[in-house]
Structure 1
Amino acid sequence: MLEKQAVSKIDENLIKIGVKASKREEVIRAMGAMLVEQGYVKESYVQALLDREKEFPTGIMAAGLGVAIPHAAAGHVNQTTAAVWVLEHSIPFQVMGGSDADVVDVNAVFMLAVTKPQEHLLFLQKLMGLFQNEAVMLKIKNAMDPKAVAEIINQEI
């Protein structure tokens, strides 16, 4: 039961393709604001994301695609969801577990908002499995519309 709840379908309304941005903070703020507007998270979520990203960076090199997984504590979340933005041009994010100098050029941002810590870990595990599949990651990068991205992700998780 928990697994089904934690990895419920990704809503295509939370997916954007060809996002123009030049800084990670810009993307994080915009994605967070979208989740606030739609009621998934509290207003405190955006600042919590930025604070957490500074202390614990989320950039990783997945199979064929640089990704970031910004997220914040469950106390800032009203309803579990995830947003996915595929960027027009890559943006440098600090590498998860790396030094300040270690960066990865991120092409897609997967923002998680989860209400329970167990959901968070399960969602991350599912995404890590997705990130290891180069063919799937390239499909996400090259997708032309949000519905296609949602279908690709929902099929895999």
Structure 2
Amino acid sequence: MVLNLFPEDILLNIDAESCQEVLHLVSTHLFGEGKVKQSYEEHLIDREREYPTGLALGDINVAIPHTDYQYANTTQLLVATLKKPVEWHNMEDSDESIPVSVVVLSVFDKPEHQLEALQKIMGVLQNQELVAQIADADSAQQVIELFN
């Protein structure tokens, strides 16, 4: 399975004040494209509250939110870069918040696709130089090339 990343699902320089606002914006975008079900946002936010997805990676921190497959209609990624970092709860210590600048949302409609999606994401995120280039990207095509 190839993990799809479409130009229309790369949202650059989102202006948001909170993690919840980012999750609302990306959910609304995906729902508008018919890629997720109406209940997706509610479940995404609930899951983030239970299991935070902020990753402290160094200079540029990333969040990798996702929710269960039954709320999605497709398998793909959405990448959002933020105009300014927003506070996100840390995956390793949910009492701690970290400033996040890049959000990589994995959407999957079959449970067996989750592991592959997360492996692909982590392969990119382990390279802080790539993460910095994604955060600074000024085109969707540039982000796609960095992920590939």
TM-score, normalised relative to structure 2:
0.95
Give yes or no for the alignment of 1:92 onto 2:87: yes
Kindly state the Cα deviation for residue 97 of structure 1 after the two structures are TM-superposed: 3.2
1:23-102 equivalences under 5 Å are 23-100=18-95, 102=96
Q: Give the direction of change, closer, same or farther, for the CA distance of 1:106–1:42 in structure 2 (3 Å limit).
A: same
1:112 aligns with one of 100, 106, 112: 106
Contact 2:24 2:41 in 1 (8 A): yes
The separation in 1 between residues aligned to 2:79 and 2:52, in whole angstroms, is 17
Q: Is the 8 A contact 2:52 2:94 kept in 1?
A: no
Q: Please say if residues 63 and 137 of structure 1, whose CA atoms lie closer than 8 Å, have aligned partners that are also in contact.
A: no
CA distance in 1, matches of 2:33, 2:71: 14
Identity of aligned residues (%): 31
More helix by share: 1
Q: Supply the distance in 2 between the matched residues of 1:47 and 1:99 (Cα, whole angstroms).
A: 20
Inter-partner Cα distance in structure 2 for 1:117 and 1:70 = 15
Tell whether 2:144 aligns with 1:150. yes
Q: Which TM-score applies when normalising by structure 1?
A: 0.89
Gaps of 5+ in 2: none
| Paired AA for residue 103 in structure 1 | S
Range with bigger deviation, 56-65 or 24-33: 56-65
The Cα of 1:131 is off from its aligned counterpart by 0.7
Is the contact made by 1:63 and 1:132 (CA closer than 8 Å) also made in structure 2?
no
Q: Which runs of 5+ in 1 are unaligned?
A: none
Query: Are 1:130 and 2:127 matched, yes or no?
Result: no
* 1:51 shift after superposition: 0.4
User: May I ask how many residue pairs the two structures share in their alignment?
Assistant: 148
